[in-house]
Chain A
């Protein structure tokens, strides 16, 4: 696989050919199918895709959170700190959570334990993994709450999750994730459950924290507009595979995969021209019955016979920088068509 980073230092996190399968009542589905990507230090990668694209499962696989026994990681490597995590025992992988890899989830109300105080939950990593006393942990919790912008932190540290508003709860989750200063923060649709105005605040907060802590971030979302100001690179997933990846601006200006083109065209723009929205034709793929060849073919206006026969490999897009890859037999054509139209 070609290198996908643009900096010279070795990547912090390197995923190769990751495959995750699920057993369901409808059959076995391959939720993540041969996904590869790198994450450099201090870099923000946006992972974009619809429901069912495999973006959240990829994150779960990184953190060792794939729900068992229905889900299994059946192949691939996750290189971190010079080691392939998938060869290590589960307990060792679990220990990396919080200290090296941390995650913020989509719905903070159900992701926070309702019967424990917020301060207890934020301070828990200090107590259980750093041997801090209850008082020390509480101080750290207040500190973190202030850092993420929760007003009156000293008073609210003893409140329960249901006593906070949605945006404040998400800040609590972020504080909790940052407690042990992880190197990689994975945010799985962190703003989807929030109001639009609050979304912007949370995104700004994440950008600040990232810079301050020199963290790498993986931002999972289905909404490109949300990550536009924050992400360095973008990886677009479809049907469990990487459809396209590259620097954000580059992919935005010269999309090499028809799906990416479709995504761009279906984003409502508040400013600028009021064009009609162009939704992507067809419906999301049924993962139990994927067609052979390219999974996007049924919805693609560029499809030809070769698309049904051969699965496209993730390769650099011709005429574009080497860091821009797309899995499409007709990438060059897509780019030309996009730039022209």
Chain B
């Protein structure tokens, strides 16, 4: 287990470093002048030159990179051009809102995704299974921004049940949470269904029946416990993807999270905030992946205790 953990941690650090480097390179190697990009087309040559010096763009690339790495490690992303305060601080302020949304979405996705997947597997090829499979197909194919809009239209405007925007309690959380959860629900349904169907053919399930255990006990926990292992991994990865999907959902529902800040900053060309937000979300993603790796190692005794 320790060897496994170390490998995963090293990989996570490597990915983080990769993300940081990519952000650095893209911003500087893209045709055009980053300083010009930030200041816009009506900036004077003097302003651009000043910003270039301030950003260190007149140094050589490796030197810039070194400075950049140093800044990143100290969480120093410069100041927000719009709000005139520390860029990373700005992002961190908005982070709890995004996390709240992501967690709610994940809970919904796990309950509905795994639950429906189990139902579909137990009633395979019958009506319930077909309905669930169609639902999964639809959830995966419908653009989340559109679904969000339709939800707002139906539930908030027409039926006036729920609020349509802004942060708040359960009534404001449920629509964006559900919208964010839908693609994950679809994936979890498929995985749970096929995973459970595969496990049910394994020899140890036959053994469980040979011991005289009833079908319900054979499924819970004998089959499920094994089927769950790969599902947990995917669920974890999907949680990370939720962080990306949150960008869209926050925009549609005017949810004041880091994702929306990112989009707003992009249109305002506030690149310090853009960098800070991208890297923070990426770091969150990597951290979640790492946690999932650890969880997976723990759940599978063959990894936990070595082969």
A219 to B5, CA, bound (A): 46
Pick from A99, A110, A173: contact of B212, CB below 8 A.
Answer: A99
Q: Which residue of B lies closest to A182 (CB)?
A: B212
B18 on the interface (CB 8 Å rule)? no
Known: A105-B206, A160-B301, A162-B302. A113 touches B211 (CB 8 A): no
Pick from A64, A110, A180: contact of B202, CB below 8 A.
Answer: A110
A128 on the interface (CB 8 Å rule)? yes
**In whole Å, how far is B4's beta carbon from the nearest beta carbon of chain A?**
15
Q: Do residues A113 and B208 form an inter-chain contact, with CB atoms below 8 A? A: yes
Interface window among A34-42, A88-96, A200-208, A296-304: A88-96
B residues 177-229 with Cβ under 8 Å of A? 202-204, 206-215, 217, 222, 225-226, 229
A98 on the interface (CB 8 Å rule)? yes
Measured between beta carbons, the chain B residues less than 8 angstroms from A114 are 204, 226, 300-302
A65 to B218, CA, bound (A): 13
Interface residues on B, range: 20 to 34
Q: Do residues B226 and A94 form an inter-chain contact, with CB atoms below 8 A? A: no
**In whole Å, how far is A132's beta carbon from the nearest beta carbon of chain B?**
14
Q: Do residues A111 and B217 form an inter-chain contact, with CB atoms below 8 A? A: no
A20 on the interface (CB 8 Å rule)? no
Which label, helix, strand, loop or mixed, suits the secondary structure of the B interface?
A: helix
Measured between beta carbons, the chain B residues less than 8 angstroms from A181 are none
B46 on the interface (CB 8 Å rule)? no
A115 to B224, CA, bound (A): 11
Q: Which residue of A lies closest to B228 (CB)?
A: A115
B305 on the interface (CB 8 Å rule)? yes
A116 to B215, CA, bound (A): 18
- In this complex, how many residues of chain A approach chain B with their Cβ under 8 Å: the count is 33
Measured between beta carbons, the chain A residues less than 8 angstroms from B307 are 162
A171 to B211, CA, bound (A): 16
A95 to B206, CA, bound (A): 14
B residues 282-307 with Cβ under 8 Å of A? 299-302, 305, 307
Best-buried of A65, A102, A110, A111 by chain B (most CB within 10 Å): A111
Q: Which residue of B lies closest to A163 (CB)?
A: B305
Measured between beta carbons, the chain A residues less than 8 angstroms from B207 are 105, 111-113, 173, 176
Q: Which residue of B lies closest to A186 (CB)?
A: B210
**In whole Å, how far is B205's beta carbon from the nearest beta carbon of chain A?**
8
Known: A110-B202, A163-B305. A115 touches B226 (CB 8 A): yes
A244 on the interface (CB 8 Å rule)? no
Measured between beta carbons, the chain A residues less than 8 angstroms from B222 are 113, 116
A179 to B215, CA, bound (A): 20
Q: Do residues A124 and B211 form an inter-chain contact, with CB atoms below 8 A? A: yes
Measured between beta carbons, the chain B residues less than 8 angstroms from A124 are 211, 213
**In whole Å, how far is B253's beta carbon from the nearest beta carbon of chain A?**
40
Contact with B along A173-185 (1 / 0, CB 8 A): 1001101100000
Contact with B along A97-121 (1 / 0, CB 8 A): 1110011010100111111100000
A203 to B218, CA, bound (A): 30
Q: Do residues B301 and A65 form an inter-chain contact, with CB atoms below 8 A? A: no
A91 to B302, CA, bound (A): 33
Best-buried of A102, A116, A173 by chain B (most CB within 10 Å): A116
Best-buried of A99, A114, A128, A176 by chain B (most CB within 10 Å): A114
A94 to B208, CA, bound (A): 11
A260 to B213, CA, bound (A): 38
Pick from A64, A97, A105, A163: contact of B203, CB below 8 A.
Answer: A105
A270 to B206, CA, bound (A): 36
A167 on the interface (CB 8 Å rule)? no
Q: Do residues B212 and A96 form an inter-chain contact, with CB atoms below 8 A? A: yes
**In whole Å, how far is A271's beta carbon from the nearest beta carbon of chain B?**
36
Q: Do residues B210 and A63 form an inter-chain contact, with CB atoms below 8 A? A: yes
Question: Which 5 residue pairs are nearest across A and B when measured between Cβ atoms?
Answer: A98-B212, A97-B212, A110-B203, A113-B204, A160-B301
Please list the residues of chain B having a beta carbon within 8 angstroms of any beta carbon in chain A: 202-204, 206-215, 217, 222, 225-226, 229, 299-302, 305, 307
Question: Given A94-B212, A162-B301, A176-B207, 11 more contacts at CB 8 Å?
Answer: A65-B206, A98-B210, A98-B212, A110-B204, A111-B206, A113-B226, A115-B301, A163-B305, A177-B210, A179-B211, A180-B212
